[in-house]
Amino acid sequence: MNITSRRILLTVIVSALIVIEAFAGEAPRLIIFISVDQMREDYFERFAPYYSGGLRQLYTEGTFYSNANLNYASSVTCLGHATLSTGAYPMTSGILDNEWLNPVTRKSVYCVEDTSAGKVDGEGGGESPNNLLVTAIGDWLKTSSPKSKVITASGKDRAAILMGGKHPDCAYWYSRKNGHMVTSDYYTQHVPRWVTEFNSSQWIEKNVPPAWTKLLPESVYTKEGPDEFIAEAKVDSSSSFPHQFEPGKKTEQLLATPYGDLLVLDFAREAIRAEKLGQRGVSDLLCLSLSDCDYIGHAFGSNSHEMIDHLVRLDRALGSFFADAQKAIGVSNVLVVLSADHGVMPLPEFLSQFKHERARRIIYQTEIKKQLDSLDQLLQKEWNIHGQIFENGGFLNYASAARVGKDSLQVERRAGHILQSIDGIADVYFRRELMDARTPDRPYLSEFRRSYYPPRGEDYQIRYCEYCLVSSQTTGTSHGSVYSYDTHVPIVFWGAGAKRANVTREVHTVDIAPTLARILNVEYPRTVDGVPLEELK
């Protein structure tokens, strides 16, 4: 699709707009919209004594929403970033998981895959926002102010792409192959000179030491627990500091350390300088997703020495970055908005051993799938069906059941009974329940509905028990559940137009995009599920 066609399509898409009450003050010249991947809200409170930079400024000087929640069930990266930028739940945006099976072809679909998106200057390619069905805050801004610029950057392709919406000026993401920031020709045929210069600057060689070591005194870290813990992922047979980079593998290992975020922030500095963001008489939008917290959290957990050290380093890095942006553009002209795509469950072994909470790790293949396969075989024998009834990816073999006289309701009732008999499964939500508003309400049904987009959805979705980490790994942790440890995230506005306040009422991440629309004095489409936050007027 050429640029002219894209502009026509964008005009059509945003034709049905909602007129909103204007922001009381002048729109900021630059909005810096940051997602810290996997950042729990309690990271601000728990580690506040150790912050002295940007996280401290946000927490103590900004409009801080301490009771913010995703308000949908599937707490993963693609959904999180799409929701932040569009103000639309997955049921509206069409982004229902990081990957999903096409219900017709049963082939896996990556949320931002696009085989038609080519490489740019020999790098990147293969990805775009084509799977995103709605527009985002950057699109609304450019429709209202064509001279405004929207640029996104992240360690992850899916985060940069989905924060950018349909048509930002460009989205850049980190390539583990060579340590460069890359894009696809969906956005541009050639990267600007400043990007080429940044990629050739040998940033990693100049800024990343041979090992990741602790920044603060040891006493700070030991308050949280031990450095070496059995359930943490091992690096060179150890999960404790220091973490040495393997020779020749810094570019590959960078995102699992604090240095990946530092690279993205330096890249953002260059974007502000070279593109003159916030310095051209119009409002611009710079979207950043900082990925390191997610990789570190997965490997070591939310209570680890690694997490503490990373957050302290991030705090200082953000403080420096904010100061540089304000120096270039003016203190009153920069608004920072920070949130997260999701949280994370602490290591279940840590919870049980040190917090004395009931938590456990469930290995999917040996504890869930093994039981399900056994029960499936019994049902096949009972119904005289050849072939699995529970198919991969959350699908049911309705066709085979129909051939022996079983209708879809019978299949689902029996499937539900079987699934809920498996230890670890708390509930099951079938397609008809997720689509039919007349279904009697029960716990978390609404959250699962907001996560579900029927044309791309499976036949059923499972809710596992709370504080049950269902995983294929014996170490590390994850997210993806409907529970608060995965869905409770921060929302904070700091800078131009934002007052100091701690807001305790419940708000949701879908509310950020329409709030930014009001701040920018632009209209937003009726696809938005959120509402402008009343404190930002």
Q: Where do runs of H (alpha helix) occur along 29-179? A: 42-46, 54-61, 77-86, 90-93, 137-144, 157-164
Which residues of the chain are in CATH 3.30.1360.150 domains?
Answer: 360-466
Q: Which tops the pLDDT comparison, 394 or 13?
A: 394
To the query of whether residue 77 is one of the catalytic residues in this protein, the response is yes
95 touches 109 (CB < 8 A): no
Q: Between 3.20.20.80, 3.30.360.10, 3.40.225.10, 3.30.1360.150, what CATH number should domain 360-466 receive?
A: 3.30.1360.150
Check if the beta carbon of residue 28 is closer than 8 Å to that of residue 335: yes
Helix 157-164 with 77-86: angle, nearest 10 deg: 20
How does the average pLDDT of the chain come out, rounded? 95
**pLDDT for res 24:** 58
Reply yes or no on domain 18-345+483-525 having CATH 3.40.720.10.
yes
Single out the catalytic residue among 77, 92, 152, 475.
Answer: 77
Q: Is the pLDDT of residue 15 over 70?
A: no
pLDDT of 85 over the 70 cut:
yes
Task: Decide: 76 and 480 in contact? Cβ < 8 Å.
Answer: yes
pLDDT at position 10 = 46
Which stretches within 152-286 are classed as H helix?
157-164, 193-199, 203-207, 218-222, 250-253, 259-274
Predicted structure pTM score: 0.95
Instruction: Measure Cα distances from 503 to 336, 499, 533 in Å.
Output: 17, 11, 11
Tokens in use for 457? 């959805």
Report how far residue 316's alpha carbon sits from residue 378's, in angstroms, rounded to the nearest whole number.
58
pLDDT band for position 235 (50/70/90)? Answer: confident
Chain Cα centroid distance, residue 353: 29
Beta strands in 184-343 (DSSP E): 211-212, 243-244, 284-290, 334-339
Which phi and psi (to 5°) does residue 38 adopt?
75, 25
Residues of the chain with CATH 3.40.720.10: 18-345+483-525
CA atoms of 413 and 433, how far apart (whole Å): 12
- What lies within 8 Å, CB to CB, of 499 at 6+ separation is 63, 535
Cis peptide bond N-terminal to 28, omega within 30: no
